Amino acid sequence: MDLITKYLNTVAYKFPKGYPDINNNQDILLLESLISEVIGEKFNLYEVENNSGTKKAVQFIIDELGNKYDFVIKSNKTRLGIAGKKDPQFFLDLFQEAFDEKLDIKIIPKGQSPNPSNSFNMYTFDTKEFGKVNIVVSSKPPGGDGKGNEGDFLDGINQLIEENGGKADIILTSPNNTINYKNITVAIDSSKTGAGKGDKSDVQFLSDNNVEANISIKKDGGFRWASVATPYKDFITKLVNDAIKGNLTDLELKPNPKNEKKYLMYDPKTGERVTKVIIPDFPKDDINNWVFGPEDPQVIIVSKPEKGEYSLKNGTITVKVSHIYKELKDLEEDNIYPVFAIMQHIGMSQGLDYRIIPSKQANITSNVRELSYNEIMN
């Protein structure tokens, strides 16, 4: 068994499939980070062919068209950056303009061999002066991929780490909190690194192979803290049985006419449908796990708009977000303290969903009722 195989066997458990999938961008990022730690320098799985010719071609483009386009000088001289969002056709036209010859240009998407980048397209073509060149370009504003909050955050961070040469400090800043992380080499989807049941992180910051931060990403607006049908079966069984038998003053459960194995919630006094039940005195013994989970280091919750603000200056990435929550008292200030709730949900086994929701979603309205945990259990 060769040394490379032995090494891969020692780190295989870190990958969801038990081995690094070279077709998976997150696996590639993790593998490159692990190898970089071992060799003591930045490692790319896919090295650019004709590195010297590509560097010369990039400099030629900057010299020829620098007065016309707002190019961004990269630390990696095989890469070409330009301010603003540009589509692939822009670069096809730009290369034709720069070299003034008919080019057969192939676009290699991010994360696909032999493109060394997990964030940007690579353009490969033959030139008379420089031979075959392979130019990675960056143009889209970080965080604009539109793949959801977690994907947006991952892309924004990793693009700028890559632009900074594979390592950067990161500052997360909101109006009320600021957090600093040093020497981050990659941001990873937590589900790709073995996040378990009950874990709350969506993203991990790694410094080489060490987890420096666990980050939970929340959208501004509606979200839930946890689904909790399994941990509280005794309480749920008691509540459901009492509601079916008519033992509760503010909640009755009746079979759904469309599916008698599921229930609809009613107010027994008025006969009106109920869509949500709040239990404000539910025990808070597990409150920290509802919000932050069991991970080490403890999860930091970041709430941000659809498109956060990302910047890179002097080796430091700054991400402006709307909120940062580090402890329970932070939640009270923004009225998102955890509250136990029962929601009508046709997709669940009883037609009911048991959730921990932010307190601002627990307002009592005409279709919402409040029950007491102590009264039900006693």
DSSP 300-321: EEEEE-SS-EEEEETTEEEEE-
Q: Please tell me the distance from the alpha carbon of residue 312 to that of residue 100, in angstroms, as a whole number.
A: 34
Q: What is the largest CA-CA distance in the chain?
A: 87
Is the pLDDT at 60 greater than 80? The verdict is: yes
- Confidence label for 83 from pLDDT (cuts 50, 70 and 90): low
Q: Residue 185, Cα to own-chain centre: how many angstroms?
A: 16
pLDDT at 334 over 90: no
Residue 66 pLDDT: 81
Which tens digits make up the pLDDT trace of 352-371?
Answer: 999 999 998 888 888 899 99
What is the layout of strands, in order, in the sheet containing 168-173? 178-184, 168-173, 316-320, 309-313
- Stated as kind and residue range, the H or E segment containing 223 is none
Element containing residue 158 per DSSP (H, E): helix 149-163
Average pLDDT over residues 337-349: 90
Q: Which amino acid appears at position 219 of this protein? A: K
Q: Which pLDDT score, from 0 to 100, does residue 11 have?
A: 77
Average pLDDT of 312-317?
Answer: 92
Instruction: Give mean pLDDT, residues 147-176.
Output: 84
What token pair was written down for 375?
A: 């009264």
pLDDT at 180 over 70: yes
Domain ranges of the chain: 3-39, 51-138, 149-220+286-333, 226-283+336-377
User: Which one-letter amino acid corresponds to residue 64?
Assistant: E
pLDDT given at position 85 = 65
Q: Is the dihedral of CA 241, 246, 252, 258 positive or negative?
A: positive
Tell me whether strands 338-344 and 276-279 are parallel, antiparallel or unpaired.
antiparallel
Measured distance CA(282)–CA(339) in Å, rounded: 8
Residue 33, number of CB atoms within 10 A of its CB: 21
Write down the pTM of the prediction.
0.63
In tens, the pLDDT along 40-50 reads: 666 665 555 66
At 300 the pLDDT is: 95
**CB atoms inside a 10 Å sphere around CB 143:** 23
Between 142-156, 164-178, 282-296, 335-349, the lowest mean confidence (pLDDT) is in 142-156
Using CA atoms, how far apart are residues 116 and 19, in angstroms rounded to an integer? 20
Q: Which residue is listed with tokens 């589900």? A: 191
Q: Pick the more confident residue, 223 or 40.
A: 223
Whether the CA torsion 217, 221, 222, 225 is positive or negative: it is positive
CA distance 334 to 224: 15
Q: Which residue has the tokens 């589509």?
A: 87
- For the residues of 225-264, what is the DSSP string, one character each? SEE-TTTTHHHHHHHHHHHHHT--SS-EEEEETTEEEEEE
How many other C-beta atoms are found inside a 10 Å radius of the C-beta of residue 366? 10
Q: Which of 71-85, 155-169, 225-239 has the lowest average pLDDT?
A: 71-85
pLDDT at 148 over 60: no
Residue ranges of E strands in 56-199: 71-72, 79-82, 106-108, 122-127, 131-138, 168-173, 178-184, 186-189
Is residue 132 very low, low, confident or very high in pLDDT (cuts 50, 70, 90)? very high
Among residues of the chain, what percentage have pLDDT more than 70?
86
* pLDDT band (50, 70, 90) for residue 306: very low
Q: Is the pLDDT of residue 174 over 60?
A: yes
**Looking at this protein, which amino acid is placed at residue 93?**
D
Q: What pLDDT does 146 receive? A: 34
> Rounded distance, CA 30 to CA 91, Å?
30
- Give the count of beta carbons closer than 10 Å to the beta carbon of residue 54: 25
